[in-house]
Amino acid sequence: MFSSLTMHTFTISTSKKYELVDITSQVRDIVEKSEVKDGLCTIFTPHATAAILINENYDPNVMDDVIAALNKMIPEGIWKHDRIDNNAAAHIKAAIIGPSETVPIRNGKLVLGRWQDVMFADFDGPRSSREIIVKIMKG
């Protein structure tokens, strides 16, 4: 059974319309400070045009390819919501990727693969204040 232990919030800024920002170090710091040895770490963003994802960050081309693939699949300017504020594609991309990821904690560390990092995806930037919530649950 898991018991809730701690929740932390931090903000980041983005500088491009489409941007993937590596937030692994911030999340790792929160996990280390929690002193939880085994449990779960959920990373969540409360924005309808942003998402959280886990993927390779060693080769920056991977993240560029993720953005390019999403842009090909979900073009701008053809959706009903565009009549409201012209950002329907951002909402659709965020919905497909999702607002959160959960990563196990083992021996006080995030259990990520060798090439995996936690990324914040902004599909409607630039924004000066994007919120990220990190919830640590002790197992």
Q: How confident is the model at residue 82 (pLDDT cuts 50, 70, 90)?
A: confident
**What is the amino acid identity at position 14?**
T
- The pLDDT, as a whole number, for residue 38 is 96
Instruction: Look at residue 2 and tell me whether its pLDDT is greater than 80.
Output: no
Residue 42 burial by Cβ neighbours in a 10 Å radius (0-12, 13-18, 19+): middle
Instruction: Look at residue 1 and tell me whether its pLDDT is greater than 60.
Output: no
- The pLDDT, as a whole number, for residue 4 is 62
Q: How confident is the model at residue 46 (pLDDT cuts 50, 70, 90)?
A: very high
Tokens matching residue 10: 């931090």
Q: How confident is the model at residue 3 (pLDDT cuts 50, 70, 90)?
A: low
| φ, ψ dihedrals at 69, nearest 5° | -65, -45
102 vs 112: CA distance, rounded Å: 11
In order, the DSSP letters of 70-139 are HHHHS-SS-STTHHHHS-HHHHHHHHHH-SEEEEEEETTEE---TTEEEEEEESS---S-EEEEEEEEE-
98 vs 86: CA distance, rounded Å: 20
Contact at 8 Å (CB) between 139 and 39?
yes
Domains and CATH numbers, the chain: 3-138 (2.60.120.460)
Q: Which residue has the higher pLDDT, 2 or 94?
A: 94
pTM above 0.85, yes or no: yes
Instruction: Look at residue 105 and tell me whether its pLDDT is greater than 70.
Output: yes
